[in-house]
Amino acid sequence: MARVVVDVMLKPEILDPQGQAILGACDRLGFEGISDVRQGKRFEMEVDGEVDDARLEELRQLAATVLANPVIEDFELRVE
Amino acid sequence: MARVVVDVMLKPEILDPQGQAILGACDRLGFEGISDVRQGKRFEMEVDGEVDDARLEELRQLAATVLANPVIEDFELRVE
C-alpha cells in the first residue's frame, strides 16, 4: 500500500480569481507582506501494492484524465 | 521572497464525497488498485522577506483564519 499525492495548480498564465480573493481578504484582515496567493487542489490516493515506474506512469495518465485539466492546469505526482 | 505552501485536507473522520466520486470514476474508467481518494486544497503564497519562526506562526494564524476551517480540516505549512 502506498500513498500517491497529486498536486494540481492552474498554469502560471491562467488567472486565479480564488487566489486573488484570498489575497484581498489577507489585506483586509491586516496580514501584511503577502504578494501573491494561488489556489490549487491536492489529491491523496491510496494505491495497492508497489508503485514502480510503470505504475506511476499509469497513475499519471489517471491524473491527466480525472484529476487535472492539462489545458489549464499543471500537476505533479509523488509517492509519500 | 519565499514561497509558503499550505496543504489543507478534510480530517480523516469527515466524509469526502468529492473523493468518493473520483474513486467511482477511476473504477468506471478501468483504473484498478486504488482503494481510496481524498481531495483537498493546496495554496501557494508568495511572502516578502525571510520566513522565520515568528513569521511562520503568523502565517499559521492566517491559514487557520482564511485558508482552512479547523473544525473539519487539518492543514500543514511549509516553506519551499
DSSP letters along B28-52, please? HTT--SEEEEEEEEEEEEEESS---
Q: What are phi and psi of B70, to 5 degrees?
A: -65, -10
Contact between B45 and A27 (Cβ < 8 Å): no
Which CATH number fits the domain that encloses residue A53? Answer: 3.30.1280.10
pLDDT, tens digit, for every residue of B31-65? 999 999 999 999 999 999 999 999 999 999 999 99
Q: Distance (Å) from the C-alpha of residue B23 to the closest C-alpha of chain A?
A: 9
Number of Cβ within a 10 Å radius of residue B30 = 7
Look up residue B33 and give its three cell numbers.
Answer: 488498485
What residues in A contact B69, CB-CB < 8 Å?
Answer: none
Residue type, B50: E
Res A64: pLDDT: 96
What residues in A contact B25, CB-CB < 8 Å?
Answer: 66
Average pLDDT, chain A: 96
Spatial distance between the Cα atoms of A65 and B28, rounded to a whole number of angstroms: 12
Look up residue B27 and give its three cell numbers.
Answer: 473504477
Range of the domain at A30: 2-79
Res A5: pLDDT: 98
pLDDT, tens digit, for every residue of B58-74? 999 999 999 999 999 99
Q: Is residue A5 within a helix (H) or strand (E), and if so which, with residue range?
A: strand A2-10
From residue B9, how far is each of A64, B19, B37, B51 by CA, in Å? 21, 11, 12, 23
Q: Count the domains in chain A.
A: 1
Question: Would you call A56 an interface residue with chain B, using a CB distance cutoff of 8 Å?
Answer: no
Do the Cβ atoms of B42 and A43 come within 8 Å?
no
Question: Would you call B35 an interface residue with chain A, using a CB distance cutoff of 8 Å?
Answer: yes
As a whole-number percent, the residues of chain B with pLDDT over 90 amount to 98
pLDDT, tens digit, for every residue of A18-48? 999 999 999 999 999 999 999 999 999 999 9
Burial class (CB in 10 A: 0-12, 13-18, 19+), B78: exposed
